[in-house]
Amino acid sequence: MIKVVIIGSGNVAQHLIKAFIKSNKIDVIQAYARKRESLKHLIDVERITDNTYKLLEADLYIIAISDQAIEQFATQIPFQNKLIVHTSGSMPIGVLDNKNRKGVFYPLQTFSKNKEVDFSIIPICLEAQNTDDYQLLEEVAQSVTTKVYPIDSQQRKAIHVTAVFVNNFVNHLYQIGVDICEENKVPFEILHPLIAETADKIMTLLPDEAQTGPAKRGDTQIINEHLHFLSKDNQKEIYKILTKSIIDHGKKL
């Protein structure tokens, strides 16, 4: 079994621990959490430490803590020449300390405490500094998912920015939809099938092929009616700018 230590107790750390425990290739020999109670529902409390000096020797250390804390934590690992990876979409591999071998193990998904995810369909983006380390990371990743990609730090940054558009910003557009519906006494659930279909379409069609609506048609009458209908300035502004971007994109085709 590959011996792994998980650093962190947040959503990513918890989902990783759960996924590795189900795998028969990975032994999570230890987890580090500043508050040991935060992980005891997942792993034997004897295996949880809050002290970096008590970290055990392992084949792989996965640092799944907030971006800002990674650099500092990496210097506190009391070993040399071990394989240490972080799980951040936005940090380069170089943020890790030079005394150890470096890598990135970035599961591309949005993790919420209140919602289970199927880890087996989550893409994991890997980066390492040599072939042996990459192969170890690949083996660990393949123990929990079928989708493993070699991704360098520049590509990972592109993925992270893209994720902001297709996840964070998309969710905010849902938020605006909820706000408009509440204001007009419409149950938002009416929009659920449209939301599902919009996401489903993009799995098989190019966004160009899937694009519909007044901006795509250049229907300025409807666009003006919608702008008049919207009551909030931020809604109007977002409507204008996305409409313009759709129109301009259409011109480039």
Taking the alpha carbons of 37, 38, 41, 44 in that order, is the dihedral positive or negative?
A: negative
Please report how close the Cβ of residue 1 comes to its own copies at its closest, in angstroms.
Answer: 27
Which lies closer to its own copies via its Cβ, residue 53 or residue 165? Answer: 165
| Tokens matching residue 41 | 């529902």
Which lies closer to its own copies via its Cβ, residue 23 or residue 211? Answer: 211
The one among 2, 29, 93, 191 contacting its own copies by CB under 8 A: 191
Contacting its own copies within 144-183 (CB under 8 A): 147, 149, 151, 154-155, 157-178, 180-181, 183
- H/E element, 149: strand 148-150
Contacting its own copies within 71-100 (CB under 8 A): 90
Is 152 in a helix, a strand, or coil? coil
Is 130 in a helix, a strand, or coil? coil
Please report how close the Cβ of residue 221 comes to its own copies at its closest, in angstroms.
Answer: 8
Query: Residues with Cβ < 8 Å from 31, sequence gap 6 or more?
Result: 5, 6, 7, 9, 13, 17, 39, 42, 43, 47, 48, 49
Does the footprint of its own copies cover residue 110 (CB under 8 A)? yes
Does the footprint of its own copies cover residue 248 (CB under 8 A)? yes
Contacting its own copies within 195-224 (CB under 8 A): 195-216, 219, 221-222
Contacting its own copies within 21-60 (CB under 8 A): none
The span from the CA of 244 to the CA of 227, in Å, is 13
Which lies closer to its own copies via its Cβ, residue 2 or residue 181? Answer: 181
